[in-house]
Amino acid sequence: MKIRILAIGDVTSPGGVSHLSQNLWAFRRENAVDFCIVNGENASLVYSMKEEQAKEMLAAGADVITGGNHTMRNLSAFSYMDKEKNVLRPCNFPTDVPGHGYAVCDVCGYRLLVINAMGQVHIEPVLDSPFTAVDKILKREEGKYDLAVMDFHAEATGEKLAVGYAFDGKIQAVFGTHTHVPTADACLLPRGTAYVTDIGMCGETGGILGMEPKGVVERMRTHLSYPFSAAKGQVRAQGVLIVLDTDKKVAVSIDRIEF
């Protein structure tokens, strides 16, 4: 059997949340998507996401919401993240941090392990080793899942590739998030893992990573805290569609999508 998994890049604004509400279910139906993962860590315009935004994305067709370096900035969402097992934060946060770093979900009768991990290179906060944290999860959940996928939220391309190769054949798909820029290296690794360095973003186009250029440029030019605002272009969702073979337990394809 083949399972079709859709992964959508960082939602960068409330406009991105609304775009998913209006379009995600239709895209899922048109493309026979069995399961959808959305990185929602920037849904409140860069800084984390609110509980109501997480609920809206789940209702819009996201089966799991993953996070990243901004996820734990919204203290008001902590109790919700503790209760909602399909809204994740990176698994390599300390164990006493609220929320969950992975989830096991039913997909067409198969148990899919969804892991969210974060890199350590050129990104803050600097967390525990993602290699060690993911190894522990795979060992802890051994025999309790059939297939596994991972959102690896990281800045450095080399670190992302290293994680992809480290878990090639152990996790059926490793896709990168965080940089908001789609990369052209979607491929199948030697042992059957679908890999891509970054899947892109879901938000307003025509700016810098979903933001109006002025604030971003001034921050970089002056090192002062200029406010961000959403870009003015058309809202688009970027990501990848991954097909997994449940019998061979390998990925058979990974293709870019945009809507």
Residues identified as active-site? 70
Distance set, CA 73 to CA 51, 56, 68 (Å): 13, 19, 10
User: And the tokens for 131?
Assistant: 């290699």
Residue 130 φ/ψ, nearest 5 degrees: -65, -30
Write out the DSSP string of 72-130: GG-GGGHHHHHH-TTBB--TTS-TTSSSBSEEEEEETTEEEEEEEEE--TT-SS--S-H
Instruction: Tell me how far apart the alpha carbons of residues 179 and 143 are, in angstroms, rounded to a whole number.
Output: 34
CA distance linking residue 153 with residue 44, whole number of Å: 18
Listed in sequence order, the residues at least 6 apart from 218 whose beta carbon sits closer than 8 Å to its beta carbon are: 224, 226
For residue 55, give every residue at least 6 positions away whose Cβ sits within 8 Å of its Cβ, in sequence order, or none.
Answer: none
**Cα(37)–Cα(157) distance, integer angstroms:** 21
Burial tier of 101 (Cβ tally within 10 Å: 0-12, 13-18, 19+): buried
Tokens of 36: 């959808």
Cβ–Cβ < 8 Å for 247, 229: no
